[in-house]
Structure 1
Amino acid sequence: MPSASTTPARTGGEPPLRPASFRHNPGLVAFLAARTASSFSACVQAVAVGWQIYALTHSTTALALVGLAQFLPMAGLLLPAGHAADHFNRQAIVVTCQCIEAVAALLMAISALGGWTTPWMIYAMVIIFGAARAFEMPCQQTFLPVLVPTHVFPRAAAVSSSLFQAAAVTGPSVGGLLYGAGAGVCYLVCAIGFTCACIGTLRIRLAFTPRARAPLSRAAFIEVMHFMRARPDMLGAISLDLFAVLLGGATAMLPVYASDILHAGPLGLGLLRAAPAVGAVLCSLLLVWRPLNHRAGPRMFAAVAIFGVATVIFALSRSMAVSIIALAVLGAADVVSVVVRGALVQLRTPDSMRGRVSAVNMLFLGSSNQLGEFESGMLASLVGPVGSVALGGVGTLVVTALWIRMFPALWRLDRLDDITPD
């Protein structure tokens, strides 16, 4: 696998991912900076969108429609985006998408500062953002395996995840504080953040090797589905996360909990949104120190079960402190499955298929966040927000038990640092 670093070969133990190795790999630093800036901006935007749409409508259905508005373009475009990622310049695609996100956020800032914002304008902005992310994410997912050697990947993925989650800690908190000055200020900060991400992506040193341009066809994705079906551990990890995220969509109800159940206001919403990321950061740092290179499969299943239990506790809580702790545990548990799934998808896939496999992965998982928000919002309109979140947590536990029986290869997965393309 090509690498931009000069990490020495393993002679027994694993070389640690030290700050010095970052200085010798400017492409990795640029990638981490760009991804962090983009994640921070997306989290600030999520707080602004959630609070603004609920303030305008006081409707859980409106919150559900926000998730649907982002899901539909992602679901419709991710497969063509995966094809583009395997045949065109991935770095240029990511830069273009981040520019679109910056412009869309700037237009929303102008609208909000002028007092012209309507729910339909918010839905339109979310649709544009979802379409841009559909092309951006499969391409961005392919960067890290090229920037670091295989044996360093688990630690590098944990570092990337910790920075991603650090942005998710500060983003909601900053978004909640900024919302006191108005939604327009939040969107303006997002526009600046996406611009910084674009600049960071431009600084990544990636060699583009043109490939033969194949037409977008059903056969190309049938090939990917056959590839994944022949690897039950990969398919099990992706589908397990799909159902866990789809059912455990507590984040969609956070504006309702902050406003009507915990009575915490915009700042409380920021704290609730930041809590999963706090837990995720702590877990990511632990995984940098002690990578998941032993009994990775059982640990992943245990983490998803903990995710379900924490979701139920949050649903039933009426204490801000208990709610924050439950969300932090939920976030920590989610990191484990993210690292395992990322190693399986990125390291087991040949580079020529990595864009399409990443697109299928994002179709299953990235869009399931938005579809989970839609499901939670619609279910909340029938059984209430508490019932919606609690049922999602119970459903996650049921799915975990079923997947242990259905995917024994994933249960037997041991080490992540010796995975190679098949």
Structure 2
Amino acid sequence: MPTEILMPALSPTMEEGTLAKWLVKEGDTVAAGDLLAEIETDKATMEFEAVDEGVVGKILVAEGTEGVKVNTPIAVMLEEGESAEDIASDASAPAPEPEPQAAKATEGKSSQGPASGTSEAPAAPKSADGGRVFASPLARRIAADKGLDLTRIKGSGPHGRIVKADVEGAKPSAAPARDAAKPADKAPAPAAAPAGPSADAVAAMYQGRDYEEVKLDGMRKTIAARLTEAKQTVPHFYLRREIRLDALMKFRAELNAQLESRGVKLSVNDFIIKACALALQAVPDANAVWAGDKVLRLKPSDVAVAVAIEGGLFTPVLRDAEMKSLSALSSEMKDLAKRARDRKLAPQEYQGGTFAISNLGMFGIENFDAVINPPHGAILAVGAGLKKPVVGKDGELTVATVMSVTLSVDHRVIDGALGAQLLEQIVGNLENPMVMLA
């Protein structure tokens, strides 16, 4: 039977994507693992592989199409012995918007059967609320022959579509699949939180002014949604410290001189990653994430680092960072950052972690407050290292290189005193860098 290929969910946050490029054409024979298409998600352009072997019978979504919903049919695959004539006459019709439960249940292949015979299928019936009942042409013909009411049959195909198997075993007296919800059964919808002026209202404010409208891509929309969610739902609090970097700068220069023959050059950020990873081990209760109705405490230090790219940012994760040398962390971070800018990271490379680092020091920013990336428990905002007058241990006035940091903390996961202990460990590691090699 022809099999529908559905738009895949290539990341947990993906709701729709752009079918950037087809790597096959109609009539091509493919095997499991062969590349079918390139799909742009909210984060990256990823290759989509075939799950089974077969022949590409029909492409339903043209390349370059934006806003293709997850689980929407994008192509039809023919199995051995089938031809394009076996594809149902309405295979190219757009699929209905899936319900939340149906979307999960329909990931994978369709079990829709091919049309048979030459007579046309009966017109699509309407449900009790006037909506269309989705059924394959073959299912409609069998239902008409058996005198079945399709509005009273529950479909097992994609998005609740009624297929051959659903009607073959049904009887004319089949009970309704589900009763239409009565008004009294529906709970009143909660009042929506004010979202600011509407798009039309904002445009009206600037009528007559010279401006350019910038279309939001999937990444920008996702960033906007997640940051709004984070600031509305995560109870942030902030801890600030200044760190003297003179010992670290001297130590870094000595290490880089020794590593030059290996082509390794350590950055200050490499030391910050290592310092945070070791601090999470020293304060294990802070190595945690919020999981809805519980807190998950991780044993390894999986540290995410914000990487700015055109139009947004990624937070690739350095896993088991406490176990890796500074040179290994430096090499891995450079690789992740390069592939992040090329949008070539796999979802597992930027998902997870318990803690994040956002460094704007290279842009001259002295200090700032970073927004926590849920479900992380904390994020460290790192400013520039600047020469400043400081008071020495003996009370003398001297000059030192000082870096300001702010730890944003999720109060559901980490309390004030615990956050202070974590930041104290980070400061201690950076002001005494040799301890990170012990």
* TM-score above 0.5, yes or no: no
> TM-score, normalising length from structure 2?
0.20
Greater RCO structure (CA 8 Å; 6+ sep) = 1
Report the structure, 1 or 2, having the larger strand content.
2
Report the structure, 1 or 2, having the larger helix content.
1
Larger gyration radius, structure 1 or structure 2:
2
